[in-house]
Every structure is written in structure tokens, then in C-alpha cells.
Amino acid sequence: MSELDIYSRQNFGNSVGFGHRAALVLVDFTNGFNDPALFGGGNIDAAVKRTVGLLAAFRERHLPVVFTRVVYAADGSDASLFTRKAPGLRMLTEDHPAGAIVPELAPIAGEYMVRKTQASAFFGTGLAPWLIQQGADTVVVTGATTSGCVRATVVDALGYNFRPIVVRDCVGDRAIGPHEANLFDMAQKYADVLDRDDVIAALGAAV
């Protein structure tokens, strides 16, 4: 029996589908997470490049767009146990170049910026109320890393009853094994996992 058969027998892997209005959440697509010498590597740069067209599709349809950044105080006063596991994260202060959004995906006016100190974009932030204010019931999630901040954001999105859609070719990880394992697991328990072009087609069908 394959792994997929096990989940299928237990009736996992059902679809959450798209709701009435989708928001795009770009998780930590920053210079540092796109730099193999810092926090990147693997297929993250490829995911950045695939996300350019998806971001354009959301902007063309005037749908909500959210960016997230890891941002710690320069004096380390808000550093947490998360930074005990990964001390290098403490360099990601407000003005450090590694914490800036990659140039290919630069935010524009009207797009929401989440500054976070934990993995999830929802933990201790105003993201959930902002999405409700925008009338969004679906979150299309891209970013890095698949096994870390993307997964944490997806799990919390489901907990808030937003419909999570993970874009398979627009998320990346520094190592491919965790990337693939977490895509599989999220597809079975927490989200729909779709290719970018299928997401864009679904947005067009909803217009």
C-alpha cells in the first residue's frame, strides 16, 4: 500500500476549493531567503520567478495582496526561542537588506505588509482582521520556506477558517526533501496544492 493509499483510505486529501474572494500571501520572499549564503538555496529562486506572473494576475484583478517579512528589533529585545533554533534570523531587522522583499516582487501602494517574529504570518499580527476587512475567504500562499513559514501560515489560515491554496511551483525550500514532504502533507490535511497556472485560471473563472 502506498503512502497516498493510506491517506485515501482514511478519507484525507479532500479539497477546500476557492471561496468568493482570494488574497495572495507572499511569505518571506526576501533577499535573505533567496540567498543560499544566508537562508536560501534549493528551489527558492525558481519559486520567486514563477510568482512574478501570479502577482501580476492578482494585481490585474484588484485582489488583496499581502507580503510578510521577518523583522526583529535591532537591540534583540523581541527575539524569541525561534532565534535560539536559528540565531541568524536576528539579523533581519527593519533596515537590514536581507530582510527586504526581493526586487522582482516589490510591493506597491495598497498592498499589506506583515512584520512577524514567528513562523506563521498570523501569529501576533493583524493579518486575519485585515483579510476579513478585505472580504477575503481564500488565501493563496506562496513563499519560503515550504517546510517552515509557508506551512505554519497555511495551518493557521485553516485554523481561522480561510481556505488555503498552496501554489506548488511558487513555494520553495532550501532542501528539496522537506519541500516535497510538506507539499504532500499539506495537500492531505490542510490545503489544496495547485500549480500556478491552474490558480490563475481559477481566478479568471471567478471574475
Catalytic residues: 149
- What contacts 127, CB < 8 A, 6 or more positions away? 25, 66, 112, 114, 121
Q: Are 70 and 28 in contact (CB under 8 A)?
A: yes
- Closest alpha carbon to 58 in 45, 47, 67, 69: 67
Backbone angles phi, psi at 102, to 5 degrees: -60, 145
Q: Are 144 and 33 in contact (CB under 8 A)?
A: yes
Crossing angle for the helix pair 196-206 and 44-60, to the nearest 10 degrees: 10
- Closest alpha carbon to 44 in 147, 190, 119: 147
